Amino acid sequence: MAAPRDIVDALECVLSVYFSGVRHNLRAAFILCDGLVELTCKVKAEAGGWRPFQINFVPLLKLGPVSLDPASSGLGRKCEDTHKVRNKMHHVNAVATVDAQYCADSILDAVDCIEHCFPGAKAAFEDKIKVALRVVRVYSVQGSGAQRTAFQDSMSRYKWRARKNPPRVNEIVVSPGLRPHWGMVIMDTVADIETILNRIGAPQ
């Protein structure tokens, strides 16, 4: 079952922000990710006959159609923990942020939430989302320091097609393989990114 389009669009937005070079991209992606989980659960609850848009986060997780009660569901507990951290960002410490691994873990948890609510959603994702999620997995707890180093080095050394055209005198050369510029290529050059991931043995 494919997830509703607005949920997939929200996931793509999270990934775009995560891979962008903008300041505080991890904080922004993390907050958007929490919103993605809430949206997913509300859409699922509404499809089950509830009117969930005035229900708070934890009671929402406990609704029958959602079935992610933190007291009995490991995924539900992860979603609740992410929500608590997001609340602290908003209400306790306005400059608090998260690191790349914590943010990556929250993205993968959100994807698991989508799959839980809409079984088969992962398989229906576009290739660009599947490949982007493989990169996220490298930076999550499922990845390793060696894989991250190998991926970063491979991105920097990769012969991007843009290099074939020499820059004009008044142009600045921007290397898409450098981390601040990954947003230019992760979602748009699927075959290239997949080649790099396969070379380093990144998990699917």
pLDDT of res. 171 = 62
Rounded to two decimals, what is the model's pTM? 0.90
- C-alpha 103/C-alpha 53 separation (Å) is 26
pLDDT of res. 157 = 86
pLDDT of res. 162 = 54
Give the model's confidence band at 161: pLDDT under 50 very low, under 70 low, under 90 confident, else very high: low
**Mean pLDDT of the residues in the chain:** 90
- C-alpha 9/C-alpha 17 separation (Å) is 12
pLDDT of 181 over the 80 cut: no
pLDDT of 101 over the 80 cut: yes
pLDDT of res. 150 = 93
Residue in 45, 68, 44 with CA at minimum distance from that of residue 58: 68
- Tens of pLDDT, residues 15-70: 999 999 888 999 999 999 999 999 999 999 999 999 988 899 999 999 999 999 99
CA 163 to each of CA 86, 129, 153, 172, 175: distance values in angstroms, whole numbers, following the listed order: 40, 25, 17, 12, 8
**Environment class of 170 (CB within 10 Å of its CB; exposed 0-12, middle 13-18, buried 19+):** exposed
